[in-house]
Amino acid sequence: MSSFQFNVIGTIESPYKQKFAIPRQPGLIAEARGKLVLEPPYADDDIIRGIDSFSHLWLLFVFHQTADKGWSSLVRPPRLGGNTRKGVFATRATFRPNPIGLSVVQLDRVYRQNGKLILELSGIDLLDGTPILDIKPYLPYADALPNALGGFADSAPETQMTVSFSEQASTYCQKQPDYPGLAILIEKVLKQDPRPSYKKKRQAEQYYGMTLYHFNIKWTVNGEHNHVTEISQLF
């Protein structure tokens, strides 16, 4: 069969510095804001002429962190508890014959900075450093199909998880003027319950940590309650 080589047109700057805690679909956390940075030869005003008339965009990207792990014909979707196998083409799993993903994001603004062309985005589900292969406008009349069937993922995932913050964590969030929505972002990420499926059945208290932007967040899980214990700056 034929093979093709593609050029990376830009790179994502994202609050998600690791796969853990990334929402499983775009748009689930509107407060997840990031940037698509276009560099020469794609940092050209002509290449995005008219893009600001669209509210949302499709991004075609590479699963760069898992691309070297190969692919599998059968995968275990987290949505099904990690116990049921489905064909990889019936899922959005990362372990695909070609490590390519598709994500719809909201376009908030376009601007220039230090010779780079930047698209500011929200509702992203992309890892920091994700290579982008293409951008296409989202067309509501063609892309939003109200009668479409969603198979085993027919509705947005929901959990009963609740979230609280320690005094230190709450105060720390309030002291971050450059990140006014930090507490809301953390809360919504934790309500998605990013834990591996096999750990969700454990009753004993569990301890976790993750990185959002340049913050180290630590929390505990007890039943269906998350408690953010500490937030600190990584650098």
Spatial contact of 186 and 212, defined as CB atoms under 8 Å apart: yes
Q: Does residue 223 share a domain with residue 174?
A: yes
- Tell me the sheet residues that pair with 78: none
Q: What is the pLDDT of residue 188?
A: 95
Tell me which residue range forms the domain holding 75.
10-143
The CATH number for 215's domain is: 3.30.2310.10
Beta bridge partners of 104: 58
User: Which tokens in the block code for residue 157?
Assistant: 């995932």
Beta-sheet strand order (sheet of 206-212)? 162-165, 225-233, 215-222, 206-212
| pLDDT one-digit tens code per residue, 118-138 | 999 999 999 999 999 999 999
The reply to whether 14 and 129 lie within a common domain is yes
Q: What is the count of structural domains for the chain?
A: 2
| Helical (H) or strand (E) element with 182 | helix 182-191
- Same domain for 103 and 212, yes or no, is no
pTM of the model: 0.91
Section 64-72 average pLDDT: 88
What is the percent of the chain with per-residue pLDDT over 90, rounded to a whole number?
73
Q: What is the average pLDDT score of the chain?
A: 92
With a CB cutoff of 8 Å and minimum separation 6, the contacts of 157 are 24, 25, 28, 79, 192
